[in-house]
Amino acid sequence: MRITANHLTIFRIVSLPVPCILLYGGSTAKLVALFIFALLGFTDYLDGVLARRHGTTPFGTFFDPIADKIFISVIYIPFVYLGYIPLWTAILLFLREFLITEVRRLMSQEKLELQVTELAKSKTTIQMAGAAFILLVHLIPNRNLVIPLFFLPIVFTLGIGLISLILKRGLSHRVLLALSCFSYILLIRLVFNPQWSAFLYMMVILLFTYASGLQYIAVSYSAWAGVHRNPFFLIVRLISSCLIPILALIMLRYVPSHSWMAIFVISFDFASQGLDTWISSLGREETIKDRLKQATLIPLAVSAVLLFSLADTRTMAGGILWICLIISTFYMAIDYYGHRKLLLTGTISQS
């Protein structure tokens, strides 16, 4: 059996807990985590190569982006716990990811394809690379040590650009974007301390994240409006898709030590959304689970209000996190058990 793009996608997902756990360790553990993240990021490039060589599958089309989203969840949520980035920036980051993933799923249900844009591909790369630099500025706070390190990607990119100019007589937009980003990273660290540098890196990451999201919305809204004239249905679906994970993130303000629970909640929801999108593309509806999600809105809101009024803040936040984790686990278990045969078939279909 040959190694396929689907195998690499699954390998990347199941390997992510290792570097995630290491992020909670000391400086050496964090450096090892950075190395492992880099290797797993390289597998993302490799599965793209294999997919182009052997052909794509519906499984790979929908689960490769989900693997990328789980990838960022096991990086950025520990960053919040470690104090590397503000909580609100992580909330904005994941809010966009859940909303756009749900938009892709709704488009699939209507047999409307939402193509991955070039900006979205750049966004994913910037999220992953940006996380590496956020980690580095905290691991190496000494400016005299980190500045030479930050010069290396600029020199490497200039080398690639020079080769491109000689062979192709032009520069690709990717080379120009990389050179701009690496120069920005270096300039910011020259001027600001590690905390401010990480914050300003995060602002650029959010800028690309929402620019690509708005591009998706612009492409999909007209197609969606032609099928459903009532926007209320769309609003309810979008809220129900992100309520549980975003609520779990908000609770980290009160119990940051429970960040591991938020990682599970968000990863489980991403995994469930990915499967739902794939199933929808095959012409199968998930109406029962959709109704369960929508029916969860009011009980979950009432539970949050009761916990706020009857318990102290930390107990309340911990209780809500447990509720979110139980619901997310339940939804994912239903999804993956109910479609286990189809999932196995789709996974090995390239073999």
d(CA 248, CA 21): 19
Inside any domain, residue 342: yes
Inside any domain, residue 266: yes
d(CA 33, CA 25): 9
Write out pLDDT tens, residues 121-142: 789 889 999 999 999 999 999 9
Q: Cβ contacts of residue 296 below 8 Å, gap of 6+?
A: 240, 243, 244, 327
Tell me the residue type at 65. Answer: P
Into how many domains does the chain fold? 1
Residue 36 above 60 pLDDT? Answer: yes
Inside any domain, residue 160: no
Would you state the pLDDT for residue 242? 86
The arithmetic mean of pLDDT across residues 50-59, rounded, is 71
d(CA 189, CA 182): 11
The residue range of the domain holding 231 is 5-141+193-348
Would you state the pLDDT for residue 351? 46
Q: State how far Cα 348 lies from the chain centre.
A: 25
Inside any domain, residue 63: yes
The arithmetic mean of pLDDT across residues 96-103, rounded, is 87
d(CA 201, CA 346): 38
Write out pLDDT tens, residues 308-327: 666 678 888 888 899 889 88
User: Does 163 or 291 have the greater pLDDT score?
Assistant: 163
Q: State how far Cα 91 lies from the chain centre.
A: 12
Would you state the pLDDT for residue 77? 97
Would you state the pLDDT for residue 310? 63
Residue 246 above 60 pLDDT? Answer: yes
Inside any domain, residue 154: no
Least confident of 86-95, 138-147, 155-164, 258-267: 155-164
Output 28-36 pairs: Cβ under 8 A, ≥24 positions apart.
30/135, 30/139, 31/139, 33/135, 34/132, 34/135, 34/136, 34/139
Inside any domain, residue 271: yes
Inside any domain, residue 82: yes
* Percent helix / strand / coil, the chain, rounded to 5: 85, 0, 15
Write out pLDDT tens, residues 210-222: 998 888 877 776 6
Inside any domain, residue 166: no
Q: Residue 85: how many CB atoms within 10 A of its CB?
A: 21
Question: Highest mean pLDDT: which of 87-101, 216-230, 266-280?
Answer: 87-101
Decide if 94 contacts 249 (C-beta within 8 A): yes
